Chains A and B, each alone.
Chain A
Amino acid sequence: MPLLKNNTLISDTWIHVGLDDQLPEAGDVIVPWARLLREFELLSRRTGKLGVVFTNADRAEALATFLPRLSVVVLPFPAFVDGRAYSIARQLRDFGYRGEIRGTGNVLPDQLQFMLQVGFDTFDIGERFPLSAWQAASKQMSLAYQRGLFRRSAEAEIWTERHTDAEPWLEQPHAG
């Protein structure tokens, strides 16, 4: 399935291996969380890169020790109103994880920007919406109030912007 990355479609070169599927000899694999726990040593000995499909009901701390060995963490959205993966993505970034975070499942183009801002990189966008809808939605807001977000270069962090130079706000007339 094609993936959305940096607003363009790329092909997914990863091999998705189920819980009890045969491991391929070579190639980069993404395995379910339960399999990572079960066979981490075996998986680590392979030459290809390793990724995991996490679940949003598990605690991100459990993933922490595996992160140095992981190149992709896939975070599923069982429903687009289920916002747990936003926090998990931020936790993974807080832990220092710099690999790919991939969103999959049920998401709307209108949520893409939030997902980018909390640290997602790639998205299984499915076929519900055309690529143009995703591209348009990803840049609707050029500003955010929150600090410490992941931003495209075109986006500004309001609080930081306001306070970068010599406090110009001190000269502003106030309405009292």
Chain B
Amino acid sequence: MYRYDEFDHQFVRERTAQFRDQAERRLKGELTEDEFRPLRLMNGLYLQLHAYMLRVAIPYGTLSGRQMRQLALIAEKWDKGYGHFTTRQNIQYNWIKLEDTADILAALADVEMHAIQTSGNCIRNVTTDHWAGAAADEISDPRPIGELLRQWSSLHPEFSFLPRKFKIAVTGAPHDRAAVKVHDIGLRMHKSDTGEIGWEVIVGGGQGRTPIVGVTVRDFLPEHELIGYLEAIMRVYNLYGRRDNKYKARIKILVHELGAEKFKSEVEAEYARKPQATTAVEERELKRIEAYFAPPAFEKLPRWSHAFEEAKVKNANFARWARNNLGPHQVEGYTIVNISLKPEGGIPGDASADQMRLMADLAGKYSHDELRVSHAQNIVLAHVKKDDAFTIWQALDAAGLAAANYGLVGDIIACPGLDYCALATARAIPIAQSISRKFADIDKQEEIGPIKLNISGCINACGHHHVGHIGILGLDKKGEEFYQITLGGSSSESASIGTILGPGFAGHQVPDAIEKILDTYLQLRNPGEEFLSAYRRVGAKPFKEALYAAA
């Protein structure tokens, strides 16, 4: 994975010193809270309901064992012993003191990490496929471009005070695990007939209160033009994006109001006008970065692992976990381990310091010292020998990390909601917990099959409810929490926005409502038909009837 050189180190150190100075000026009263807010947000520091929250960037979701151990240390030293992995592949700490923040940033800098632009109206941490570099269906590892974009977007002087936040996602695989169509910019790798790599540029997707699937403005942008072209998009957005209403300030609204064609012509005009300096430096920089992402030295292994197959036969629980939580790897004899951070009744995405250390140890021993955070708030060990899977499972099981529900109904995405977040209108975590208890029976979960159930505690949609096959949105109606259910959303390559099924439910009614929806699906599905396909075939009607007819 990428390692800092002297420049990266110096950059992050200087940035930490800059923030230390800003925090001191705020504490001395030299900066007002209004003046300090955009400065601290650009360093990932939010003021939440109970304390400051610090969001730490995990660029494209990849980190080393050493970095994970440092995250554990931060959790113990400056928080309450745990951290929360987010839907943007970051980690956030919910109980931070302003006075400690610069020290935490210094501790991050020690392990080549930072919190730059994890918040604020700027270009946020770039996200990607959590199986990057390992997935069997991948064209090429998208993380070098992720790193190039991380550097380019860091403290970009022109694009640090945008109309609104700006999220970029990249994928190098035809099966989209990075939700590129619902980002401000999504980049999707393609390979030409002659073997050249190019990027499809998708703009103006997003969730929030106006969920929209993005539009493609370039089908196949040559890789060395990427930075220049993105600068043109960013400039058009920075100049013409709405600033009069923060709910209409994302680029999706600009694309929608101008129309895709007009937007595209603005970008192309800006791109054509920019002085076309040579892109040789970008090309050489990308080559330098790519070297860091060279595949690890895989062993030549047989496809069939005797130890793995035998362990499955002997241990039914392991067999179930192997069935659900392992992904297909590019290299024979290897597998991708998906560690579910969704135990029954747990808080989606939370991990204790001890759990973080255990996962770091496992990565060190069995997965080339590399971990991933997925946008579904799980942890991935991307390069594991099938021979080692049983040993890993035993260690995970002993630490409460062996939930075998990856990709099933218990694998719920949820934002922190009203338990932490100042923006939330309703709680999300208790709803996730009650649903996971309702479907505690893992046999039932497997019978239901692959499904994405996503919960947001407000219309900002951090819990991605719009693109959940089942989405739950928590709202406030005259002081009472109630929950809207949507069906049919998807963040995959066939992205779609879910449709609201009908009137909302009180929190305690939600698990039963979800059960009715899933029972309806089980009755009407064709053999082998997954929930989303069934919904797309039959539409909302049978589900509406099941939910509302009796009421």
Interface of A toward B, CB cutoff 8 Å: 59, 80-84, 86-88, 90-91, 94, 108, 110-111, 113-115, 117-118, 129, 133, 136, 140-149, 156, 158-163, 167, 169-170, 172, 174-176
Contact = CB atoms under 8 A, between A and B. Distances in A.
Nearest to A90: B158
B21 interface: yes
Contacts of B161: 80-83, 86, 111
Contacts, number: 129
Interface stretch (B9-17, B96-104, B436-444, B490-498): B9-17
Contact of A114 (B121, B160, B273, B369): B160
B545 to A, nearest CB: 49
5 contacts: A114-B158, A147-B281, A159-B151, A160-B281, A170-B291
Interface residues of B, number: 52
B157 interface: yes
Interface in B130-166: 151-152, 154-162
Contacts of A162: 5, 7, 284-285, 288
A102 to B, nearest CB: 17
Given A86-B158, A94-B273, A141 B14 contact: yes
Interface stretch (B174-182, B235-243, B413-421): B235-243
Contact of A163 (B152, B274, B284): B284
Given A82-B243, A145-B152, A108 B35 contact: yes
A143 B281 contact: no
Contacts of A146: 152, 156-157
Contacts of A84: 238-239, 243
Contacts of A117: 157
A163 B160 contact: no
Contacts of A149: 157
A158 B291 contact: no
Interface in B284-328: 284-285, 288, 291-292, 294-297
Nearest to A93: B275
Nearest to B283: A163
Interface of B: 1, 3, 5, 7-8, 10-11, 14-15, 17-18, 21-22, 30-31, 35, 38-39, 64, 121, 151-152, 154-162, 235, 238-239, 243, 273-275, 277, 281-282, 284-285, 288, 291-292, 294-297, 368-369
A54 to B, nearest CB: 13
B160 A174 contact: no
A143 B160 contact: no
B288 A86 contact: no
A87 B38 CA distance: 19
Nearest to B32: A128
B38 A80 contact: yes
Nearest 6 CB-CB pairings of A with B: A83-B161, A114-B157, A117-B157, A145-B151, A140-B18, A158-B7
Given A80-B38, A158-B151, 11 more contacts: A80-B35, A83-B161, A90-B158, A110-B22, A115-B157, A159-B282, A160-B281, A163-B281, A174-B294, A175-B3, A176-B1
Contacts of B157: 86, 113-115, 117-118, 144, 146, 149
A149 B3 CA distance: 25
A167 B283 CA distance: 13
A77 to B, nearest CB: 9
B291 A174 contact: yes
